[in-house]
Structure 1
Amino acid sequence: MTTHWKKAFAILFTGQIFSILTSSMVQFSIIWHLTETTQSAIVLTIAGLVGFLPQAILGPFIGVWLDRWNRKTTMIAADSAIAFFSLVLGIYFYLGDPSLGFVYLILMVRSVAAAFHAPAFQASIPLLAPEDQLTRVAGWHQMVFSFSTVIGPALGIAVYSATSLGVVLFLDVAGALIANLMLLFVRINQPKPDAQQSPSFISEFMLGWRAFIKVRAIVIITLATAIFSLAFMPLATLFPFMTLSHFGRGGYSASLVEAVFSVGMILGGLLLAVAASKWKDITYICWSLIVIGLTCLACGVISSEAFYIFVVLSFVMGAAAPFFNGPYMAMIQRAYEPAMLGRVISLVTSVMLIASPFGLLLAGPIVEKYGVQSWFFWSGVVTVLTGGYLLTQFKRLQVNETAE
C-alpha cells in the first residue's frame, strides 16, 4: 500500500510539473507581450481581471459539478481545454497578431478551465494518499507548484525572446499532453455520492455549504484566511515597488528579491514534506502566519540602506508560506467526505481569490498617501494578530480527523 500511493504521486506530480511549468511560461509571456506591444496599464489590468475573475466567480458553483463528475476525467478535460486554446492562440500568432479582444477571450477560457482543474486535483488527493500522510503530500505539492512557478517566468521570457510567443504556446500544449498522459497511469477511485444528494443543482450546492459550515474550525480558519489574503496578497505587486521606491534599486535587485522569495517557498515546501508529522496542522498554520506577519512588519520599519536585510526577510517570508497553505488544505481534505470535497475546496478557494482584489483596492490609495512601507507594516500587524488569535483558540479549533 505504502509503495502504491507513493508511486501514484510520483507519476502524478511528474506530470503536473510539466503542466504548471508551461502554463506559468504562457501566463508570464502573454503579460510580457502585452506590456511590450501596448505599454498600457489599462490593458494589463484587463488581462489580469479576465484571467482571475472567472475562477473567483465560478468557484463556489463549480464544486457541485466536480462532485458529480469523475475527477480524473475532469482534470484531463480541463488540461486538454487549456492546451486546445493555447494551440488556437499559437496558430493565430503565426498567421498574424490577434486582436486584444481575442487574447482576452483565450485568457478567460484558460481561467475557466483552471477553475475546474485545481480543485479537482486537490479533491483527488485524499482518494490516493493515506489520511495521516495528507500534510506531507501537501508539502510535496507546495514544492512542485513553487518550483514550477519560479522557473516558468524565466523560461517563458527566455523562449519568448529567442523565438516567439507562438512557440511558448505550443510548449504549453506539450506540457498539458504530458500531464494527461501521466495521469492515465494513475488510478483514482471516484467517491460514492452522498446518500442525501439531490439531483437539483441548488440542493447540491446547499448540501456542500451546510457541510462546510458544520466544521467550525475550518470556517474560522477560512475567515482568517480571507483576512490574511486581504492584507498579504497586495504585497505580490508591491515587492518591486518597495525595491524601487524605498531602496532606490533597479530591475536586477527586484528580480533578486522575487527569486529569493521563491527559493524560500521551494525549501519551505520540502521542509514541510519532511517534518509534516512533527506538529498538528493548526500549529503550523498559526506559526506560519506569525512568522510571515513579523517579517512583513520588519520590512515596514527597516531603513533604505538595509536592502540585503529585506532580501533575507523575503526568503524567510517565502519559506513560511507553505506551512500555511499546505496544512490548511490537508485539514480540509481530512475534515470532509470525499463526495463533498469538490464543493468545499472550490468554496474556500473563491474566498481567498475574492479577498485579494479588495486588498489591492485598499492598498493603492494607502501606498499612494503614506508610502509602500506603511502597507508592509500594517499588513504585518494584521497577519500577526490573525495568527495569534488562532493560536489562542487552539483548543477550540480541533478539526475532526474524520468527516462529520
Structure 2
Amino acid sequence: MDNWKKTFAIIWSGQFFSTLTSSVVGYAVVFWLSLHTKSATVLAYAMMASLLPQLVLGLFSGVFVDRWNRKLTMILADTFIAVCTAVLGLMFYMGTVDVWQIYILLALRSVGSAFHTPAMQASIPLLAPESELMRISGVNQMIYSVSSITGPAIAALLISLFDMTYVLMLDVIGAAIACISLLFVFIPNPERKEHDEERNILKEVKVGLHAIFSQRGLAWLFLCEVIVMFFIIPVSALFPLFTINYFLGGSYEMSVVEIAWGVGMLIGGALVGIKLMKQFNKVVLIAVTCIIVGLTFLFSGALPPTGFITFAVLTGIGGIAVAIWSSSFTVILQTKIDQAVLGRAFSIYDSLTLAPSIPGLLATGVIAEVIGLNNAFIYSGLIVCIVGAVLFFIPTTMAMGKSTIGVGEKKEI
C-alpha cells in the first residue's frame, strides 16, 4: 500500500486524457444532434443507445470483471471504445453517416463502458487504504468535473471549426494514452473463493445480487436510487433542448450549461476530498444532496424564459450535490461488499439504476410535447425531493450509514 499514491498518479494521468477526450466527443455528438435535428426524441434515443447495453450487459459483465485480469479488461475495453469511435469518424469523413448509425456506434461504445467502469471501480479498494476511499472518490469526481467543464467548451469550438471526423479522433488518442498508462502499473486481482471455481454465470450473478440485497439497509438505498434515476435521467436528456427551445439558446448556451455542471462537480469533488467528509454519515449525505438536486430541477422548471443565467447557476449547484451523492454511494459499496464480488456489485448497480429510466427515455418526446419542458423539470424535481426525504425515515439504511462515519480510521467516532 506504500506505493498507492504513485500508482494512482499514473492511472489518473491516463484516465484524465481519456475522460477529457471522451467528454469532448460525447458533447460534440449531442450538440451535433441537437443542432441538426432539434428533436427531443432523437436526443432521448441517443441517450438510450448509450445506456441500454450497459443496462443489459451490466447484469453479467461484472461476473467476467471478477474472473478476468482487471487491468487487461480496462485496456481491452478502452481499445474497443476507441475503435468504435474511429469507425464513426470514418463515416463522417465519407459523408455517409445517418442518425441511426450514430445510435449503433453509441451503443457499441456503451458495451466497452459496461466492462471498463466496474473494472475500474472494483480495482480501487485493492490499490488504496480504506481510509482513503472517500478522498480517491473525490479526486475521480474532480477529473470527471474538469472534463465536464472543458469538454463542452472545446466541443462547441471544434464542431464550429472542424469536420466531426477530426473531433472524433481525439477520443482515439485519449484511449491510447489511457491504455499506455495502465501498462506501467500493477493492479492486483482479488482471491477467488473455492466455491467460485464452478464458474456458473447465473450463480455468480446471484451471488452479486445477494451481496446487495441481503443487507436490508443497502437494499432500501438501492430502491431509492432506482426511483430517483427513473425521474432524473429522462429529464437530463432534455437539458440541451430546454436550453434551445425554452431559453432560446444555441451551442454557446448549451456549452455554458454543461460547463456550469462541470464546475459544480469540480467543487463537489474537492469537498468530498477534505478530511471533514469522513465524519459524516454517508446516507445522510446522499439524502441531503438528493433533496438539493430535486430542488434545482424544480426551481429550473419554474423559471421564466429570461432566466437562463439562473438556470446555469442551479445546474452548477446540482453538480455539487451529485458529486457528493455519487462519491458517498461509491464508498458505501466499496466498504460494505466483499471485494471478490465487487465487480458484480457495481455492474449490477449500473443495470438496476438504469433499467427504469429506459421507459422514461422512450416517453421523452411525449413528455416534452404534452407535459411541457418546464413542467417535466418541476414534477421530476418534486419526486426526487420526496425520495431524499424518505431516506431519513428508513432506520436500517440510516444505521448502515452511521458505520461509514470515519471509515477506515483506527479510532471509532
TM-score with structure 1 length normalisation? 0.88
Query: Which residue is 2:62 aligned to?
Result: 63
Distance in 1, Cα, partners of 2:215 & 2:374? 37
Q: Give structure 2 stretches of 5+ with no counterpart.
A: 408-413
Q: CA deviation at 1:209?
A: 1.6
Change (3 A) 1:316 1:104: closer
Query: Which residue is 2:224 aligned to?
Result: 224
Q: CA deviation at 1:277?
A: 1.3
Query: Which residue is 1:193 aligned to?
Result: 192
Q: How does 1:161-172 map to 2 (within 5 A)?
A: 161-172=160-171
Query: Which residue is 2:5 aligned to?
Result: 6
Contact 1:191 1:338 in 2 (8 A): yes
Q: CA deviation at 1:167?
A: 2.0
Distance in 1, Cα, partners of 2:244 & 2:36? 24
Distance in 1, Cα, partners of 2:165 & 2:306? 43
Distance in 1, Cα, partners of 2:48 & 2:240? 20
Distance in 1, Cα, partners of 2:311 & 2:372? 16
RMSD in angstroms over aligned alpha carbons? 2.8
Q: How does 1:215-294 map to 2 (within 5 A)?
A: 215-243=215-243, 248-251=247-250, 252-274=252-274, 275-294=276-295
1:208 and 2:213 matched: no
Contact 1:160 1:167 in 2 (8 A): no
Change (3 A) 1:358 1:12: same
Q: CA deviation at 1:279?
A: 0.9
Distance in 2, Cα, partners of 1:82 & 1:282? 34
SS at match of 1:188: coil
Which string of whole-angstrom CA distances, capped at 9 and with x for unpartnered residues, describes residues 253-305 of structure 1? 45433322221111111111124313121121111112222333333445555
1:325 and 2:326 matched: yes
Change (3 A) 1:232 1:43: closer
Distance in 2, Cα, partners of 1:384 & 1:161? 39
Distance in 2, Cα, partners of 1:108 & 1:393? 37
Contact 1:86 1:173 in 2 (8 A): yes
SS at match of 1:192: coil
SS at match of 1:185: coil
Q: Which moved more, 1:76-85 or 1:328-337?
A: 76-85
Letter in 1 for 2:260: V
Identity of aligned residues (%): 38
Q: Which moved more, 1:219-228 or 1:348-357?
A: 348-357
Contact 1:229 1:359 in 2 (8 A): no
Change (3 A) 1:396 1:165: closer
SS at match of 1:392: coil
Q: CA deviation at 1:346?
A: 0.5
Letter in 2 for 1:386: V
Contact 1:135 1:281 in 2 (8 A): no
Letter in 2 for 1:148: S
Contact 2:135 2:272 in 1 (8 A): yes
Change (3 A) 1:193 1:153: same
Distance in 1, Cα, partners of 2:104 & 2:369? 32
Which string of whole-angstrom CA distances, capped at 9 and with x for unpartnered residues, describes residues 368-395 of structure 1? 3443333322222212221111123256
Change (3 A) 1:45 1:292: closer
Letter in 1 for 2:115: F
Q: How many residues align?
A: 400
Q: Which moved more, 1:365-374 or 1:189-198?
A: 365-374
Query: Which residue is 1:140 aligned to?
Result: 139
1:310 and 2:311 matched: yes
Q: CA deviation at 1:92?
A: 5.0
Change (3 A) 1:202 1:381: same
Query: Which residue is 1:388 aligned to?
Result: 389
Contact 1:20 1:149 in 2 (8 A): no
Change (3 A) 1:279 1:113: same
Q: Which moved more, 1:118-127 or 1:253-262?
A: 253-262
Distance in 1, Cα, partners of 2:58 & 2:284? 28
Contact 1:85 1:106 in 2 (8 A): yes
Letter in 1 for 2:171: D
Distance in 2, Cα, partners of 1:254 & 1:270? 25
Distance in 1, Cα, partners of 2:241 & 2:106? 26
